[in-house]
Chains A and B, each alone.
Chain A
Amino acid sequence: MSAGIELENVVCDFGNFRAVDNVNVNIQPGEFFSFLGPSGCGKTTILRMISGFNEPTKGVIRIGGKDMRGQRPNQRPTALIFQNLALFPLMPIWENISFGLEVRGVDKATRRKRAEELLALVDLPDAADKMVSQLSGGQKQRVAIARALAVEPAVMLLDEPLSALDLKLRQHMRAELRAIQKRTGVTFIYITHDQGEALAMSDRVGVMSQGRLQQVANPRDIYNNPVNGFVASFVGENNILTGSVQNAADGMASFATPIGTFRARLVDGANGKPVKLYIRPEHVTLSEIPGKENSVPVTISDVAFEGNFIAVQAQTENGTTLVAELRNDGAATVPATGSKLHMTFDAQRSALLPDAVGGRG
C-alpha cells in the first residue's frame, strides 16, 4: 500500500530558469523523507512534479516502480497537502474528507462512515458536520490530513503544512504527523524550510540549495557530518574560518587561519577544492589553561544566559568573533564578560568543508 519513489536525473526548467537541477533520490516505501532548503530552492517544484502538476523537463519519476510520465494528478497514487491546505469552504467537514471517495462513486453511507473513522484517526471527533470556517488552524490541518488519507494514497506529499501554525501547535502537530505516518505506514514526503522540523521528524533528509540536492542522509549525519558548507550552515550554527590546507593525511589536515593553525577533519571529496573550517558552537570548550592542540586565547565579550545553554561571544587577539554554547547542566560556571580564557576546538568535530555543489548559472 505504501510505495517507494525514485527521482532519476530530474530537471525542471521554467523558461530558461532552472528551478530543479538534476535531482537523484531513492525514497523507500514507508519512509518519512523531508526536503529541506531555503525559500525558492525548488522544494515545491519537486513536490508538484511528483504529484503530476508539473512535468519534469528531463528525467524520470517512478512511483512504486512505475514510470509516471504522462500521468495526470488524478491518476497518481499520491495525495498532496497544500501549504494553504486548500480545504473546500462550501462543503461540511465530512464531505471535504470524503470528496476523494465521492468522485470514485462510493455511496453516501459508506462515505460518511469512512469520514467519521478518519476524523477519529486524526483525533477530531464531532467535527463531521461543521464547516471549515468553524475550525481552528490546527483542526483544519487535521482535516486536510484526513482528506488526503481518505483516498488511501501510497504516498503523502506535504508542502510546509505546519508553517501557518504557532510554535506550540507546530510542535504538537509534528509529533502527531509522525504518529499518523507510523500508524498508516504510508510514505511521507515532507517539505520544510525549518531545519528543526526536518531533523526531528524524518527518517532521512534531503538538503537542497538552488535547485540542487546537496546531501541525502539521516538527521544525525546531516547535522554531524555535513558534506559541505551550505548544509553545515543551513542546519545549525557554525564558527567559520577561512584559510588554507597545510598538509592532509588520513582524512585529517592542518588548516592555517589568521588566528592560528588548527587540525580538523577533511571530508572525502573535499581534496583539492577550496575549503573553510566549520566548528559548531556547542563543540567548543572554554578553559583557563590552553588545551593540547587547537587552542586560541580569547577575551569574552558577551554572555547570554538562555536557560538550557549559555551563549558566549568571544574575541580573538586580531578581533575575530567566535561563539560558544555551553550546556547548562545546573552546575555550569558562567564565564564573566572581559575575562581572558582559551577556546579549544576538538579536531574530530571540526570539519573542513567545500562550498555548496552546483548553483544556478
Chain B
Amino acid sequence: MQELLRRYGVGLTAAFIGLTAFWLLILVILPNVTLFESSFRPYLPVVDVGGPLDTYSLNNYMKVFGVPVDVSVLWMTFQVPVHIKIFFGTIYYSTLVTVITFLLAYPLAYYLAKVVSPKSLPTLFLLLFVPLWVSEILRSFAWFIILAFKGPLNALLLNIGLIDAPVRWISGYNSVIVGLVYTYVLFMVFPLYNAIQSLDTNQIEAAEDLGAPWWRIHQRVILPHAKPGIASGSVMVFMLCAGSLLVPTLLGSTSAQWFTQTIQQWMLEALDWNTGAAYAFMLLILCTVFVSVVMRIFRVKLSDIAK
C-alpha cells in the first residue's frame, strides 16, 4: 500500500483502489448477494412481491428432496430424490473427468517440461493452443458429429475391423465425459507443466544415479514436487466440469442429466429464478466443501495452490 503510494502517487493509487473495489463490489459481490437473497424468497406473481406472502424460508432449498426415483448401486436399490441423484452424478462424473484429464495431462506435461528440446517447445505449445481458437460450442458440436451413430468414428472403427457393428457412443454419460475431457484438459496441462518445469533436472538425474527406476523417480521425486500443480489443475478442472452447461447440453444423452441443466430448467423453463438461485448456491457450496475435503485428504494447502 505504502509502496503503491510512493510509486504512483495519490491520484493513480486512488484510481487503482477504486477500480479494484468497483470490480469486487459491483461486478462480483453485488450480483451474488442479490441472487443469494432471492434464493430464500418464494416465486410469486408480480403483484405479491413484497406483500405478506414474500417471506424468507428454506423452501427453495428443500425442493431437491422431492420426486424420488430408483437408483441401484451394485446389488442394492435405493429411493433417491431425482435432483440429488443428478447432483451426485455431476460430482461423480466431474471427479472421473478430473482423474482422466490428470492421467492424460501428466505424461504430456512431463514430456513438454523435461524431455523436448527447448527449441521445439514454442511449436508444440502453439499446437496445443490451436483448438482453443475454435469456440467451445463448435468443438462440442464437432465431437457430437464424430461420436454420432453414423459418424466418422464408427465408420473408421468398422473399416479397420475393430468393431463389427456401430457403437452408440452418445449414451449415458460417455459423450459428456469425452467432451469435458477434451474441453478442459489444457487446464490440467498448464499447471502441471509449470510445476514439473520448476523441478531441477539434476534432482531427476540424482535419483536415477542413485539407482532408481523411472517409475520410482516419478513416485518419489517428480509427483511430490508437482503436487501443488496437480491440486490447482484438479480444482480448476473439477469446478469447470461441475459448472459446465454447454457440453452436457450438447453431448448428453437423454439419460445423462447434469446439475447445471436442472438449474437452467428452473430458471428458463419454470421461470422460477428463486429456486434456480437456491440450486446454484447449493452447487457452489457443496462443490467447495467437496474440494476442501479432498484437499484435506491429500494434505494440500490453499497456499500451495496459489503459488
* In the complex, residue of chain A having the shortest beta-carbon distance to the beta carbon of B210: A100
In contact, B220 and A74 (Cβ under 8 angstroms): no
In contact, B208 and A84 (Cβ under 8 angstroms): no
A78 interface residue, CB < 8 Å from B?
Answer: yes
Partner of A100, one of B202, B211, B225: B211
Cβ contacts under 8 Å, A91 to chain B: 220
In contact, A82 and B202 (Cβ under 8 angstroms): yes
* Total contacts A-B at CB 8 Å: 57
* In the complex, residue of chain A having the shortest beta-carbon distance to the beta carbon of B203: A86
Q: Give the A interface residue count (CB, 8 A).
A: 24
In contact, A74 and B212 (Cβ under 8 angstroms): yes
B213 interface residue, CB < 8 Å from A?
Answer: yes
Q: How far is the CB of A243 from the nearest CB of chain B, in Å?
A: 49
- CB within 8 Å of B: which of A39-87? 51-53, 72-74, 78-80, 82, 84, 86-87
Cβ contacts under 8 Å, A103 to chain B: 207, 210-213, 216
Partner of A90, one of B208, B216, B225: B225
Q: How far is the CB of A252 from the nearest CB of chain B, in Å?
A: 50
A88 interface residue, CB < 8 Å from B?
Answer: yes
In contact, B209 and A80 (Cβ under 8 angstroms): yes
| Per-position binary interface string of chain B over residues 199-229, scored 1 when its CB falls under 8 Å from any chain A CB and 0 otherwise | 0101101111111110010001100110000
Partner of B209, one of A73, A88, A102, A104: A73
In contact, B224 and A74 (Cβ under 8 angstroms): no
* In the complex, residue of chain A having the shortest beta-carbon distance to the beta carbon of B205: A53
Q: How far is the CB of A145 from the nearest CB of chain B, in Å?
A: 13
Among A80, A86, A91, the one with the most B-chain Cβ atoms within 10 Å of its Cβ is: A86
In contact, A73 and B221 (Cβ under 8 angstroms): no
A240 interface residue, CB < 8 Å from B?
Answer: no
Partner of B210, one of A52, A53, A79, A90: A79
In contact, A72 and B208 (Cβ under 8 angstroms): yes
In contact, A99 and B209 (Cβ under 8 angstroms): no
In contact, A86 and B200 (Cβ under 8 angstroms): yes
Q: How far is the CB of A82 from the nearest CB of chain B, in Å?
A: 5
- CB within 8 Å of A: which of B179-214? 200, 202-203, 205-213
Q: Give the B interface residue count (CB, 8 A).
A: 17
In contact, A74 and B209 (Cβ under 8 angstroms): yes
In contact, B220 and A99 (Cβ under 8 angstroms): yes
Cβ contacts under 8 Å, B211 to chain A: 74, 100, 103-104, 151
- CB within 8 Å of B: which of A74-121? 74, 78-80, 82, 84, 86-88, 90-91, 99-100, 102-104
Q: How far is the CB of A187 from the nearest CB of chain B, in Å?
A: 16
In contact, A74 and B208 (Cβ under 8 angstroms): yes
A193 interface residue, CB < 8 Å from B?
Answer: no
Q: How far is the CB of B204 from the nearest CB of chain A, in Å?
A: 9
Cβ contacts under 8 Å, A90 to chain B: 224-225
A147 interface residue, CB < 8 Å from B?
Answer: yes
Cβ contacts under 8 Å, A72 to chain B: 208
Cβ contacts under 8 Å, A151 to chain B: 210-211
By a beta-carbon cutoff of 8 Å, the part of chain A in contact with chain B is 51-53, 72-74, 78-80, 82, 84, 86-88, 90-91, 99-100, 102-104, 147-148, 151
Shortest 4 CB-CB contacts between residues of A and residues of B: A86-B202, A100-B210, A86-B206, A103-B212
Known: A74-B211, A99-B212, A151-B211. 7 other contacts (CB 8 A): A53-B209, A73-B205, A73-B209, A74-B210, A88-B207, A103-B212, A147-B210
- A sample of 16 inter-chain contacts (CB < 8 A) reads A51-B209, A74-B209, A74-B212, A74-B213, A80-B206, A82-B202, A82-B206, A84-B202, A86-B203, A88-B203, A88-B206, A99-B207, A100-B210, A100-B211, A147-B210, A151-B210
